[in-house]
Structure 1
């Protein structure tokens, strides 16, 4: 099942603010968003991986639904 979150918004948030965890806050995963914020996106590595997952349509929201185009 597909999530109601917007795919394009997720990609833009992940690209511009992924290092601050804003993309994870957007999808409802607050705990992971805080961890990502405190580590500055896992020193950039975690942010890059999340961006790739977002573009590929593999990022899930808090209900486990894929955020796809």
Structure 2
């Protein structure tokens, strides 16, 4: 186990520049996709808007905004559990933060679950904790 860890650290030291370039490239290119899939509020009624998947659509403009913010938090700060803190899922937030987003796997899965919708919710909205917030 110690040899495996030592080899992994050696590889990270050798290729750190490439890893940073790849991460920076993803952080710049991936958000550009949101420009093409984000619906316009003026052209699409709220009942028809969604990120994709389940039938539990946001009931109000506030819920829709909260879910979009949670999705963006999951994408940008997901390994720290910020999206779960925002949605007031305390237990998930603590475990996600302690495991750094399940070493990246939980982070990727959570981004997809927020995009599809219906699995997680925000307070006062479908799937949430039921406590309404003032937005």
The aligned residue for residue 121 of structure 2 is: 60
Tell which structure's C-alpha radius of gyration is larger: 2
Residue segments in structure 2 that go unaligned for 5+ positions in a row? 1-55, 129-135
User: Quick one: higher RCO (CA 8 Å, sep 6+), 1 or 2?
Assistant: 1
> Quick one: distance in 2 between partners of 1:8 and 1:60?
11
- Indicate if the aligned counterparts of 2:87 and 2:123 stay in contact, CA closer than 8 A: yes
TM-score normalised per structure 2: 0.43
1:34-49 → structure 2 map (5 Å cutoff): 34-49=94-109
Residue segments in structure 1 that go unaligned for 5+ positions in a row? none
The aligned residue for residue 16 of structure 1 is: 76
How far is the alpha carbon of 1:66 from its aligned partner?
A: 3.8
TM-score normalised per structure 1: 0.79
- Aligned-pair Cα RMSD in Å: 2.4
> Quick one: distance in 1 between partners of 2:110 and 2:66?
16
